[in-house]
Amino acid sequence: MPTPAARVKHCPDCDSKRPLREFGRNRQSADGLHYYCKECAAARQRQWAKANPSKVKQMRDAYLQRVYAANAGRDPYE
């Protein structure tokens, strides 16, 4: 049976130990979880998006083009 210490992980951003459920999945890491807790990861993403508005717009436009192209031949009433 795992010990209670095994059910928490350290977030280097907020410098606290948090339950595993507060970390997103990341298959590339050794433990299968993201390095930062969900709260800190979201804050980092907001900070990056605020600092890079042109990159965000470029990525959003590319996404919408892919979605529109994928749905171009569909009939919404079928």
- For residue range 35-44, list pLDDT tens digits in order: 999 999 999 9
Give kind and range of the element (H or E) at residue 24.
Answer: strand 23-25
The number of residues making up the chain comes to: 78
The dihedral over CA atoms of 7, 47, 66, 34, expressed in degrees to the nearest 10, equals: -20
Q: What is the pLDDT of residues 21-65, one digit of tens each?
A: 999 999 999 999 999 999 999 999 999 999 999 999 999 999 999
Rg (CA), the chain: 19
pTM, whole model, 2 decimals? Answer: 0.73
Structural domains in the chain, CATH included, are 4-71 (3.30.60)
Cβ-contact 25, 34 below 8 angstroms: yes
